[in-house]
Amino acid sequence: MAIPPQHSALFESLRLPVIAAPMFIVSNPELVIAQVQSGIVGSFPALNARPAAQLDEWLHQITEATAGSAAPFAVNLIVHRTNQRLEEDLAVLGKWKVPLVITSLGANVEVNDAVHDWGGMVLHDVINDRFARKAIEKGADGLIPVAAGAGGHAGPQSPFALMQEIRAWFDGPVALSGAIACGRSILAAQAMGADFAYVGTPWIATTEANASAGYKQAIVDGDASQIVYSNLFTGVHGNYLRASITAAGMDPDALPEGDKSQMDFGSGGTTAAKAWKDIWGAGQGIGVVEAVEPVARRVETLVTQYQSAREELHARAGMV
């Protein structure tokens, strides 16, 4: 495993090997700033800034507030053809020389080249080994394997299967995603060969997140049994809270198939309910989230859990 020398300085001072996943609607400047100031990589989707002109304002705010922090921030770009803002948003990211760009739903040579031109790094999220190979062939610097159980858009494969297949041929940076919500799981991601854990759902239940009080409390109250996997709402399979589907007047156990040709990330695909406004994304790791609290406090808890898990694993290894 190796992070390219030109990018290694981005991560050398992190408190935890964690990249906070960009979440549609939920991730805002306040959340990103709190994550970065707490010592982990913070991120947000470019499409969260609406209208498009707001993206420049957000990047100005985040850049100023995180100057001198130990961690960088990242911006997520949807590369799929349905994103009519891609070219415009990419130009704004270039203006601010965003250090880390996370691309989704379609590896793109031109996007990768543009990010490299300003000295940035590209991580591309994938759900299987075939897509991982395509991403690297098209110039991505690293990968985010999105395994079963991840919040929002997620693949069906076990993290063990994904990591062993990818690490058989790729030794670059990898951030593993999939129901990672505690310090022990962060360490487990590293044990499987990942450089970072890609953590999303726990940040929904924080005071800084742009989520309704009901959404935050549902994360606190929920567990893995409350997660439903469906492609109805955006055309791409993802994990959602059962209670929000029921509240929208649908049967979580009898959802029809979505239409991938109608892929939609802003208005909720083929249903009247809007993902992620009415239909709430969440990963299977929510069972360990016990309260709505500030980002800084959640990071402190993760640090303590991670350090305890390392000590415990070391003790166990010594008994073998």
pLDDT digits (tens, 9 = 90+) for 165-212: 999 999 999 999 999 999 999 999 999 999 999 999 999 999 999 999
Task: Name the residue with higher pLDDT: 153 or 22.
Answer: 22
Q: Read off the pLDDT of each residue in 300-312 and give the average, rounded to a whole number.
A: 97
Asked if 121 and 101 touch (Cβ cutoff 8 Å), the reply is yes
Residue 258: predicted pLDDT: 84
Contact 173, 195 (CB under 8 A): yes
275 pLDDT above the threshold of 80: no
Q: Which tops the pLDDT comparison, 106 or 167?
A: 167
CB atoms within 10 A of CB 143: 25
d(Cα 31, Cα 313) in Å, to the nearest integer? Answer: 32
User: Across the chain, what does the average pLDDT equal?
Assistant: 92
pLDDT over 70, % of the chain: 93
Average pLDDT estimate for 296-309: 98
pLDDT band at 93 (very low <50, low <70, confident <90, very high): very high
HSE on the CB side for 254, CA within 13 Å? 3
User: How is residue 8 written in tokens?
Assistant: 């290694």
The pLDDT assigned to 262 comes to 57
At 269, is the pLDDT very low, low, confident or very high (cuts 50, 70, 90)?
Answer: very low
For residues 62-67, average pLDDT:
97
d(CA 55, CA 148) in angstroms, rounded, equals 31
What pLDDT does residue 265 have? Answer: 52
Confidence of residue 274 (pLDDT cuts 50, 70, 90): low
Is a pLDDT exceeding 80 seen at residue 74? yes
**For residues 315 and 300, what is the distance between their CA atoms, to the nearest angstrom?**
23
Of 78-82, 195-199, 228-232, 293-297, minimum mean pLDDT range: 78-82
Question: What is the pLDDT, as a whole number, of residue 166?
Answer: 98
pLDDT at residue number 264: 57
Interval 79-92 mean pLDDT: 93
Per CATH, is 5-210+291-319 categorized as 3.20.20.70? yes
Q: What is the pLDDT of residue 318?
A: 75
Q: What is the pLDDT of residue 308?
A: 96
Q: CA–CA distance from 247 to each of 131, 214, 251, 280 (Å)? A: 35, 12, 9, 11
pLDDT at residue 5 is higher than 80? no
Judged against a pLDDT cut of 90, whether residue 267 lies above it is answered with no
Model confidence band, residue 131 (pLDDT cutoffs 50, 70, 90)? very high
Say if residues 111 and 79 touch (Cβ distance below 8 Å): yes
**Which residue in this structure is represented by tokens 């058989």?**
168
> 94 CB contacts (<8 Å, ≥6 apart)?
114, 115, 117, 118
CATH 3.20.20.70 residue window(s) in the chain? 5-210+291-319
